[in-house]
């Protein structure tokens, strides 16, 4: 077998609508084609791909020039109320002319799905917790208007954040202590910041959010272009603040993690979306908790998570002449 998916088992049931698959190609091809439509780079044999799922059975086919792998994942949306809920809030001024509020909400929700799948993988690799059991995303976005005059004398990001926080906590949507709030704000377009206090994140990134994708196809179309830095900035900020929301601080020796206080948001987002030469070096030199053994050894024994290769959920072929 030439292609391996390392972080999921064929036939596994998942609970998030977008999954990040981390894999290995033993022939070191340049790219992998997913479901005949989405092409992702392979760097020194390693690749990360994102797949959008529909409820029920999902056939995922990966192809390179030399190899072909088909596996099945089952998507079962969570229905439990036992997990932490993320409530999404979008704040504007009431006199803003916002013809595209529906699109903005779609962008915001899609970004949250991407960030959730990435955050799932980070926690799964570092703490071995079960994916998607940490939090759920509420299915609606709450639109809140705040008065422009309340922010006229707020000239710093901390002042704006405190005023947003103060007003939100007078509203009914903030009264449930089990719900964590993520706020997309366009209150002060001249300021760009991301802050967390207690159970509230405020992302005030108006220019960055403006250019975000609102669907998986838009995401894929932009991810290989110069527009991608805007996406990575937003993702990096979101991931960093989610870390704070779930109890992580900046800490020491955090340079290569999402909790680095000195690392740029663009680098944070890029590191968790793509395999880069730096990332592959970290993996192969055992400097990362993603794999406790070198990937080449892990993949050779992992067999896509199956104990037997004769499975209705996994089919593979390889033109390299290597044994199946």
pLDDT-above-70 percentage for the chain:
75
pLDDT for 324 equals 44
Backbone angles phi, psi at 58, to 5 degrees: -130, 120
In angstroms, the CA 274 to CA 50 distance is: 10
How many C-alpha atoms does 279 have within 13 Å on its Cβ side? 21
> CA angle, corner 124, sides to 3 and 16, nearest 5?
80
In angstroms, the CA 40 to CA 220 distance is: 9
User: Residue 301 belongs to what H/E stretch?
Assistant: helix 295-302
Given the DSSP bridges, would you call strands 179-185 and 84-92 parallel, antiparallel or unpaired? parallel
pTM value is 0.81
The residue-averaged pLDDT of 268-295 equals 53
- Options 3.40.390, 3.30.1330, 3.30.460, 1.20.120; which CATH number does 84-271 get? 3.40.390
Q: Would you say the CATH fold of 84-271 matches that of 3-77+304-318?
A: no
For the residues of 154-185, what is the DSSP string, one character each? --SHHHHHHHHHHHHTTSGGG--TTEEEEEEE
Q: Per-residue pLDDT tens for 122-177?
A: 766 655 556 656 678 888 899 999 999 999 889 899 999 999 999 999 999 998 88
| Average pLDDT of every residue of the chain | 79
CATH code of 3-77+304-318, in short, is 2.60.40.10
Q: Count H helices and E strands in the chain, helices first.
A: 8, 14
Q: Per-residue pLDDT tens for 192-225?
A: 999 999 899 999 998 888 889 999 999 998 887 7
Domain ranges of the chain: 3-77+304-318, 84-271
The residue-averaged pLDDT of 261-280 equals 67
In angstroms, the CA 219 to CA 207 distance is: 17
């Amino acid at each position: 077998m030439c292609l391996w998916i390392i972080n999921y088992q064929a036939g596994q049931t998942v609970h998030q609508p977008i999954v990040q698959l981390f894999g290995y190609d033993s022939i070191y091809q340049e790219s992998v084609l997913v479901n005949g439509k989405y092409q992702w780079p392979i760097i020194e044999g390693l690749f990360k791909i994102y797949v959008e799922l529909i409820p029920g059975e999902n056939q995922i086919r990966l192809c390179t020039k030399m190899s072909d792998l088909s596996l099945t994942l089952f998507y079962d949306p969570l229905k439990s109320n036992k997990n932490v809920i993320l409530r999404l809030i979008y704040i504007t001024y009431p006199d803003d002319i916002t013809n595209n509020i529906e699109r903005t909400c779609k962008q915001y929700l899609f970004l949250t799905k991407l960030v959730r799948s990435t955050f799932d993988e980070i926690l799964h690799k570092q703490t071995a917790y079960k994916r998607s059991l940490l939090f759920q995303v509420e299915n609606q976005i709450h639109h809140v208007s705040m008065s422009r005059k309340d922010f006229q004398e707020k000239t710093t990001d901390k002042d704006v954040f405190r005023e947003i926080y103060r007003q939100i906590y007078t509203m009914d949507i903030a009264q449930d202590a089990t719900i964590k709030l993520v706020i997309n704000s366009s209150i002060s377009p001249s300021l760009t910041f991301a802050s967390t206090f207690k159970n509230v994140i405020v992302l005030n990134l108006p220019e960055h959010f403006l250019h975000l994708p609102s669907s998986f196809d838009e995401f894929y179309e932009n991810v290989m272009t110069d527009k991608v830095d805007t996406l990575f900035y937003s993702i990096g900020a979101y991931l960093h603040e989610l870390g704070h929301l779930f109890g992580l601080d900046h800490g020491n020796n955090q340079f290569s993690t999402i909790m680095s206080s000195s690392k740029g948001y663009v680098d944070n987002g890029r590191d968790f979306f793509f395999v880069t030469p730096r990332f592959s070096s970290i993996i192969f030199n055992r400097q990362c908790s993603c794999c406790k053994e070198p990937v080449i050894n892990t993949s050779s024994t992992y067999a896509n998570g199956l104990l037997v290769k004769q499975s209705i959920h996994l089919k593979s072929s390889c033109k390299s002449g290597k044994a199946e």
